[in-house]
Structure 1
Amino acid sequence: MCGYPIILDLSGRRVAVVGLGAVGRRKALGLIEAGAKVVAIDPVGFPGPPPPGLTILAEPYRTEHLEGALLAFASATPEVNRLVVADARRLGILVNAASDPTSGDFSLPAVHRDGPLLLAVSTGGAGPALAGSLRDRAAVALGPSASGMALLLAELRPLARSRIPNATTRRRLFRRWADPSWLDRWAADGPEAVRSLLIDSIDHAAFGGDDPS
């Protein structure tokens, strides 16, 4: 599959998940984590109390279940999945099909979340297990400093914008902040040392000085 990667903001958006086996439950929980309003359709229902954000329709799938959904996930039997894919196509809804990924519109990457950091790895469906292994290796290599650095930049970028009126100067500063060596400093010296250096770099850039780092 030759895909186009995007990060969707699903906050408050309706998403339909048809089938609540192991695959469907995993997808439903991931969608809830992303802020979606998940409607899950399965005659058997959900094992145990459903988590907040999940609406269960314990009934056989019908076309109407997809109405108003931004995305649809077909995670039931192959026969039901084919119906879901066909209905979603007629309704103009992007659909993911668990039993036959090539019949759907998109596949799901292997994902690692840590604070604001989201790492996604895909093999285009050629090797999901390989994608998971690569994700795990990358997550270990990045370590906790990557998400910590992302949180710190989210805090300091507005300060830099308020202190540095020149857009070109800000862009140069932000490029320096993106240097991977900051992750090494984080691991070696700790977050407060990095924070202090980044704030100093804002002060120097604001007054036209050199980067102190």
Structure 2
Amino acid sequence: MTLDLFDDIDPIPAAHEPLCDGAMVLRHFARLEAGNILADVEAIAQKAAFRRMETPGGLRMSVATTSCGNVGWVSDRRGYRYDSIDPVSGQPWPRMPESFFALAGRAAALAGFDGFAPDACLINRYDPGAKLSLHQDKDERSLDHPIVSVSLGMSAMFLFGGMKRSDSAMRIPLMHGDVVVWGGPARLRYHGVLPVKEKPHSLTGSRRINLTFRKAM
């Protein structure tokens, strides 16, 4: 079994790659914190288990999700929304770790969005073959705040398109520790993930973990 080696002990210099006005990839930004982040994700999943949600159209998502923070993202036949209660457990979502909050704020500031204070973190688990169709993040109460997306574990091909679903999309390889931030004029750009290929990572095995921070309420 071949393992990705993006969790080497020696630091890799960060690199900032602008995608367009309002969007940037921060290479390796979360890499050194990855072990602690993944431990926190595991603790969150013990309280709010990963689940494959149903879309409003009745399809089962290939990506398994959970959340932490003041509210969590929910999808079912009634639509997409944020809710303060986990519909599976009937309990409030787990508290967002302070380290998550700080990481998202630092990443947003580097991309030009000072003062980002997320109140929700959607955690996606991708098994081999899982994907995310092109979509916009527009369930938040205000679109004035950026999205901060952290990739851990197996690599993935991120699609970053235009303001219409039919616009051509850039294909951006995301590796362990990479962070994408988009907001301002890029806030409603369509984005997605191609089916994840199995290339096991030493920290996550045959899984990719993605944390998406939002200011939802």
| Structure ID, larger Rg | 1
TM-score normalised per structure 1? 0.22
Structure showing greater relative contact order (alpha-carbon pairs closer than 8 Å, 6 or more residues apart): 2
Higher strand proportion, which one? 2
Higher helix proportion, which one? 1
